[in-house]
Structure 1
Amino acid sequence: YLKFRELPAGQNAIVAILCYSGYNQEDSVIMNQSSIDRGLFRSLFYRAYHDQEKRIGMNVVEQFEKPFRSDTLKLKHGTYDKLDDDGIVAPGVRISGEDIIIGKTAPLPPDAEELGQRTKSHTKRDASTPLRSTENGIVDQVLITTNAEGLRFVKVRMRTTKIPQIGDKFASRHGQKGTIGITYRQEDMPFTREGVVPDLIINPHAIPSRMTIAHLIECQLSKVASLIGKEGDATPFTDVTVDSVSSRLRDMGYQSRGFEVMYHGHTGRKLVA
């Protein structure tokens, strides 16, 4: 019903509903740093930069090229070293804040005096496109084409890997949203008697007042589904009941409502429920 096969959104994680250390108060969550290091909730962010050669007057045209200080005025602060000879950065190059990714110059009219900076050798003005100062990443794709006037048009797509950190927001499929309050390494996280360590810990106080009962049913069914190695359907359009899921859990040797005895990651002592 949710079509997660065709259009997946998010990942299935091992979730504990538990008070642990107090860093998951007020809708924050505790996340397993070791899981993050293994790639949990890692995502790719793409941003496209584009520019085109514009016509100035009748026959004067801007040009994509690598600007040089000897003949170009008003160069920007960022480095021009990552540009190829055609003035455009190559795919696969690592770039960071304010690096120039599209080099472009505009010709100066012969009679123009640019704030007195100009000498006889200066014939062009810089019109390049820098990367945003807060971003860094890798050039993913470069596209060069021409527009209707026959002038060149460039599109550069940048790729950044986003890794979860404190303050990032996550949500379940039931609108239970929260930010990361702290990340613990696997050895500092609580564990079950089987040695299962959760990927994230949410606070039990998020459940009663919001009455997201379907959230708990989905958690219970997902535990059964992962144990038997099949997909579960927790939508209300099937004849799955809480009692039927509970009996399946009990048959497999677990507590019928999905409770687990857990042990403190720091002390190794049993947690009191």
Structure 2
Amino acid sequence: MMIRLLTMSRMRIFEVLRLLVLGCNSLAFVKGLTTLTQYKIEKLTSLDGIHTFQDFVRGGLIEYLDVNEQNNALIALYEGEATSETTHIEIEPFTILGVCAGLIPYPHHNQSPRNTYQCAMGKQAMGSIAYNQFSRMDSVLYLLLYPQRPLLTTRTIELVGYDKLGAGQNATVAVMSYSGYDIEDAIVMNKSSLDRGFGRCIVMKSYTAIYQKNYENGTSDRVLRPQRTGPGSERMQILDDDGLAAPGEIIKPNDIYINKESPIHTTGQRVPADGQQDIGYKPAKQTFKGPEGESCVVDRVAFCSDKSENLCIKFIIRHTRRPEVGDKFSSRHGQKGVCGTIIQQEDFPFSETGICPDLIMNPHGFPSRMTIGKMIELLGGKAGVSCGRFYYGSAFGEASGHADRVEAISETLVKRGFSYNGKDFLYSGITGCPLQAYIFMGPIYYQKLKHMVRFSSHYSSGPRVMLTRQPTEGRAGNGGLRVGEMERDCLISYGASLLIFERLMISSDPFEVQVCRKCGLLGYFSHMLKRGICSSCSNGDNISMIKLPYACKLLFQKRASFENPFYLNEFMDTFDW
């Protein structure tokens, strides 16, 4: 474990690299094993059995060595490598990695960028975050419904408690090409596995609103009983008698979850406390704006206060989602991919014993990525299932016993009736005939990431900005997909004029305008005369109708207001009059 210390003295920064090692200066070596003196053993056993890291440092059993001291020290990496001349022993090689990297099994068999990718994606995986997760009021909370502990574990997983609060599921993976929907790291998923709960998650979002806000003139908001009949009552069916959405009710987009009213006048002369009934109120109902076409559940309702001491109410809305095409998954080796297709289990390949995989991944994901640790994880998970124990894959742990060797794992597979290299004899679920090759199949720990296609897709239609009549900006407001300057320039360089016309006008803000062919100015349509009129020429003899982007028409009008109009008759040859 490397510890970097920075000290500042007299405007100079001295950088000291310190290596954390186990002090063996006063230790005796008997038959190649490190032993403590009888005094130190009695001293340690006399404690309450709980020893902290600082206890060993104060006792002289662990010490820090800087760069200068390392020149005079003979450091052994493992205890078995210690000799009579060894002065120090490394505590454990896997401690050089942090928590995120320590969760990866056999990281020393992977290409280093893949481990870096997993350190970033491991933070995006869904799972269980705490034992009180259903009592929390987070803004957004992603939870996996059936998290599992990994079959192939590491010492870091046990130290940090990852096995108690997992963030993934053990999926039976078959490494083969299937259906053509598995190219570019896409995975083919078993529909029956999804029906049984694989990858199913819940998204819990909180919505906060001020329950009763007090204004400076003594007035305040009020929450009313819902109307059970009459116009608009269908949007209040989930409300309780107190005017708030009841827990357990199914809420849909545009449903009202707070039946609130606000006073019309909030400033001015102070209103006495007994004069509230004479105040005019206006509707201020809180409407649920959720994903279109989907229903959610009101999970919890709680009261709280904000910084201004206003009484607030917080709703937790629960949305259960099952995996669909486009959702993102990842193994613990930095190999991410989206769900390419979902196929019935009857069409999936199966083994002689009836084992059917949950996922199918393309074998072309291995050669260029060089994630050998994923292959070993499949072998270790398969051996662990067959013999009923957890195998270990800690970093650099083969020599110290913190990682099982591949040879031992393969021998266990042979004893349990499997192939030495982990391959199985499969039959096609479509034809029933045996496949032409043995298939590498076994359990791999897969993570479902928070990036789901339902929350990441743009829409083909939606609201428009009132001023420019163009689609709104941003995915959060159901906005359109922006075609910017660079995209426009690329289309121009390719000469794709029809595509430019379709993207920049037809799919954006088409508008028909009246143009005078004589003076070139914009006219208007007279509903009385049922014809176009030019304001400059005061007649409609030379009026033609052309189609322009509404933003372009708005620009022409603004320029005309500066007494510098744009004359369209100069470009009349380019228009189809």
Structure with bigger gyration radius: 2
Higher relative contact order (CA 8 A, sep 6+): 1
Aligned to 2:289: 132
Alignment of 1:19 onto 2:183: no
- Return the offset for 1:103: 2.2
- Contact 1:78–1:100 at 8 Å: present in 2 too? no
- Contact 2:428–2:435 at 8 Å: present in 1 too? yes
Structure 2 residue corresponding to 1:267, chosen from 431, 441, 463: 431
Aligned to 1:230: 389
Aligned to 1:58: 217
CA distance in 1: counterparts of 2:391 and 2:403, whole angstroms: 12
Task: Report the TM-score, using the length of structure 1 for normalisation.
Answer: 0.87
Please report the RMSD computed on the Cα atoms of aligned residues, expressed in angstroms: 2.6
CA distance in 1: counterparts of 2:346 and 2:312, whole angstroms: 53
CA distance in 2: counterparts of 1:179 and 1:79, whole angstroms: 37
Aligned partner of 1:271: which letter?
L
CA distance in 2: counterparts of 1:160 and 1:149, whole angstroms: 31
Gaps of 5+ in 1: 70-74, 112-120
Aligned to 1:216: 375
- Return the offset for 1:7: 2.4
Task: Report the TM-score, using the length of structure 2 for normalisation.
Answer: 0.43
Aligned to 1:247: 411
Structure 2 residue corresponding to 1:162, chosen from 321, 331, 348: 321
CA distance in 2: counterparts of 1:195 and 1:174, whole angstroms: 28
Q: Select between 21-30 and 237-246 the one with higher mean Cα deviation.
A: 237-246
Q: What is the number of residues matched between the two proteins? A: 260
Aligned to 1:123: 280
Aligned partner of 1:257: which letter?
N
Aligned partner of 1:81: which letter?
Q
Deviations 1:18-62 (A, max 9, x none): 111111111110000011111111111101111112223230111
Deviations 1:54-86 (A, max 9, x none): 2232301112334669xxxxx999812321222
Aligned partner of 1:100: which letter?
I
CA distance in 1: counterparts of 2:377 and 2:213, whole angstroms: 57
Gaps of 5+ in 2: 1-155, 268-277, 438-577
- Contact 1:61–1:107 at 8 Å: present in 2 too? yes
Aligned to 1:83: 239
Aligned to 2:186: 28
Aligned partner of 1:35: which letter?
S
Q: Select between 234-243 and 154-163 the one with higher mean Cα deviation.
A: 234-243
Secondary structure of residue in 1 paired with 2:302: strand
The 1:269/1:78 distance shift into structure 2, 3 A limit, reads same
- Contact 2:387–2:416 at 8 Å: present in 1 too? no
Aligned partner of 2:312: which letter?
F
CA distance in 1: counterparts of 2:316 and 2:266, whole angstroms: 36
Q: Which has more helix, going by share of residues? A: 2
CA distance in 1: counterparts of 2:185 and 2:259, whole angstroms: 46
- Return the offset for 1:144: 2.2
Aligned to 1:182: 341
Aligned to 2:495: none
CA distance in 1: counterparts of 2:308 and 2:342, whole angstroms: 54
Deviations 1:165-223 (A, max 9, x none): 11111111111111111111111100011110001111101111101111110110000
Aligned to 2:256: 100
- Contact 2:190–2:342 at 8 Å: present in 1 too? yes
CA distance in 2: counterparts of 1:85 and 1:123, whole angstroms: 23
Secondary structure of residue in 1 paired with 2:170: coil
Aligned partner of 2:202: which letter?
L
- Contact 1:79–1:100 at 8 Å: present in 2 too? yes
Q: Select between 213-222 and 148-157 the one with higher mean Cα deviation.
A: 148-157
CA distance in 2: counterparts of 1:19 and 1:150, whole angstroms: 61
The 1:32/1:148 distance shift into structure 2, 3 A limit, reads closer
